[in-house]
Chain A
């Protein structure tokens, strides 16, 4: 069951520009959303999260936006750096049921 979808398998941007990664979900019971970053041969690492009571959360160069009516969230990276090149996973959960569902990931490549 694809409750969390990342429709872009890959994205390539130039260093210094904005990277926008998108994620859609179908389950309206999800109320907590996360982004994880994964380098080759490593496990995913937590990047940023947002609760459904907010529509924006910012941490340095990373901002996550949530549009509940559209069941859509996005991750903005500004400015993008070559070290940001990785696979980014969107994940969703519910406060009452800690069963986190992941999207298939988007591979971001930041070119120098």
Chain B
């Protein structure tokens, strides 16, 4: 079974530039999550989708971050414009359904460096 795919794996940009990350979840998984992991910290949930609807985006900085999951499969996370403090690993995860007991499977992440 293929895992969660993310691209790119690494991205370096200058502050105030825009960047987008892509995630392809495990086939059949209805729930998709985006996390931000700053160096030395645990992953922090940014947004979660159930199919193509947003379940929770309370921790997403909506002035600069946006995410979509068109057709309930792939998802993109965008930052526009980027700030230095956005440097982090962005992790995508998916689960079969929207229950805490449904195991979340993580992709390898995209490491973003903002200069």
Which A residues lie at the B interface, using CB under 8 A? Answer: 4, 6, 32, 36, 41-46, 49, 89, 91, 93-95, 97-105
Contact = CB atoms under 8 A, between A and B. Distances in A.
A4 B108 contact: no
Contacts of B99: 95, 98
Chain B, interface SS category: loop
Contacts of B31: 98
A8 to B, nearest CB: 14
Contact of B48 (A45, A94, A95, A98): A98
Contacts of B56: 97-99
Contact of A43 (B4, B48, B101): B4
Candidate in A36, A49, A91, A100 with the most chain B CB atoms within 10 angstroms = A100
Contacts of B107: 43
A29 to B, nearest CB: 12
Interface in B32-72: 40-45, 48, 55-56, 58
A95 B101 CA distance: 8
Nearest to B37: A102
Contacts of B105: 43, 45-46
A104 B99 CA distance: 23
A89 B43 contact: yes
Interface residues of B, number: 25
B106 interface: yes
Given A89-B42, A104-B40, A46 B103 contact: yes
Contacts of B109: 43
A102 B89 CA distance: 15
B107 to A, nearest CB: 5
Contact of A99 (B40, B45, B91, B106): B45
Given A4-B42, A91-B42, A104-B42, 9 more contacts: A6-B42, A43-B106, A44-B106, A46-B105, A94-B100, A97-B56, A98-B100, A99-B45, A102-B43
